Amino acid sequence: MVSPDSDEALLTRLRAGDESAFLVLVSRYNGSLLRVARTFVPNDAVAEEVVQDTWIGVVRGIERFEGRSSFKTWLFRILVNRARTSGVREHRHDTFDPTEPAVSADRFDATGAWAEPVTPWESDVDDRLVAATWGPSLRAALDGLPERQRDVVLLRDVEGLGSEDVCEVLGISEGNQRVLLHRGRSRLRSVLESELAARGR
Amino acid sequence: MMRTLRREDLVCRQVVELVNDYLEGDLSRRDRRRFERHLRACPNCTAYLEQMRVTIAATGRLTPEDLTPEARDEFTELFRTWAGGGPDAEGDSGDEA
């Protein structure tokens, strides 16, 4: 069964010229599109143009979307294509050290074991609570990640694309995707760890 | 007292670097076994793994900001302009479906 607010259902309505379906899709994805666009172009104004262009591409190209990939994958691929053909900052590389550890080396003793116990997050700390309480910190931490890490985490964990789709959208290798995801998620965990520790004091 | 390490045993510092591959199902069978053996004996790494799970799930709950009313108007305008072919009827190729 197709849920009425699924992308699929909205696309069917969009094909029939339904403006409100379009606006629901825009509210759903515009924020993420802007974030990803921002990592490809030099400023917010250009990012907004690229995103607008992407939505025009959606409205005009909807008849040709055959659903071989998910709508999201298609959408982000249009975005990245538009961003790249806008010709700016294509080869910007993140300056992050690929050997940077997931957890700071000083947390471990000479044998490689944890120097201090890891405080388990209390059993009442579930992801809903974290998202509700620390959402703004988490969002800020996500925005603060090196660009490619942010793109990968945004597409994988916020948008829920699979790893193959992310590789396709961003034009990166499976191995690269893994490293970027690992670094990005590790960084977010460490931010939350600090936030929760601060709460406990 | 420190437990004796087998040569193939992982230490915590290595485990945290493998957590994501573990969650992604990307570890070889042998590495997965070593990883899980370590977890069984290590409450710290077990807590760490759980923290990663909560982090990932919480990230999945972030939602994009709501559109401002102004943005809403702009997109309504954009839709009305472009739906049905747009101001010029030129083909727009390049985004294969």
Q: What domains, with CATH codes, occur in chain A? A: 7-85 (1.10.1740.10), 105-200 (1.10.10.10)
* The total number of structural domains that make up chain B: 1
Nearest Cα to Cα of residue A151 among A76, A84, A88: A76
Tens digits of per-residue pLDDT, A64-79? Answer: 888 888 899 999 999 9
Distances (CA, A) of A47 to A40, A88, A157, B19, B81: 8, 11, 22, 34, 21
Q: Given this model, what pLDDT does residue B93 score?
A: 46
Selecting from B24, B48, B97 the residue whose C-beta is nearest the C-beta of A68 gives B97
Taking CB atoms and an 8 Å cutoff, what residues of chain A touch B65? 31
Tens digits of per-residue pLDDT, B23-39? Answer: 999 999 999 999 999 99
Q: Which residues, 6 or more positions from A91, have their beta carbon under 8 angstroms from its beta carbon?
A: none
Q: Which residue in chain B has the smallest CA separation from A30?
A: B64
Taking CB atoms and an 8 Å cutoff, what residues of chain B touch A81? 94-95
Taking the CA of residue A194 as centre, how many other CA atoms within 13 Å lie in the half-sphere pointing to its CB?
A: 10
Q: How does residue B89 score in pLDDT terms, banded at 50, 70 and 90?
A: very low
ipTM at complex level: 0.82
Q: Given this model, what pLDDT does residue A49 score?
A: 92
What residues make up the domain containing B53? 12-60
Q: What percent of chain A has pLDDT over 90?
A: 52
The answer on pLDDT for B90 being more than 50 is: no
Q: What is the 3-state secondary structure (H, E, C) of A52-74?
A: HHHHHHHHHHHHHCCCCCCHHHH
Range A159-163 average pLDDT: 90
Evaluate whether A72 touches A29 at the Cβ level (below 8 Å).
Answer: yes
A67 vs A11, residue with greater confidence: A11
Tens digits of per-residue pLDDT, A12-32? Answer: 999 999 999 999 999 999 988
- How far apart (Å, rounded) are the C-alpha atoms in residues A115 and B16? 14
In a domain, B2, yes or no: no
In a domain, B41, yes or no: yes
Q: Do A118 and B48 touch (CB under 8 A)?
A: yes
Give chain A's count of helices (H) and strands (E): 8, 0
In a domain, B75, yes or no: no
CA distance B39 to chain A (A): 12
In a domain, B97, yes or no: no
Taking CB atoms and an 8 Å cutoff, what residues of chain B touch A117? 43-44
In a domain, B52, yes or no: yes
pTM of the model: 0.81
Selecting from A101, A125, A127 the residue whose C-beta is nearest the C-beta of B17 gives A101
The answer on pLDDT for B7 being more than 80 is: no
Q: Do B79 and A186 touch (CB under 8 A)?
A: no
A40 vs B29, residue with greater confidence: B29
Range A149-154 average pLDDT: 92
The answer on pLDDT for B66 being more than 70 is: no
In a domain, B43, yes or no: yes
Residue with tokens 């974290």: A130
The answer on pLDDT for A90 being more than 70 is: no
Q: Given this model, what pLDDT does residue B84 score?
A: 66
Residue with tokens 């977010």: A188
- How far apart (Å, rounded) are the C-alpha atoms in residues A26 and A55? 8
The answer on pLDDT for A100 being more than 50 is: yes
The answer on pLDDT for B94 being more than 50 is: no
Torsion of CA A166, A172, A175, A178, to 10 degrees: -40
- How far apart (Å, rounded) are the C-alpha atoms in residues A116 and A114? 5
In a domain, B67, yes or no: no
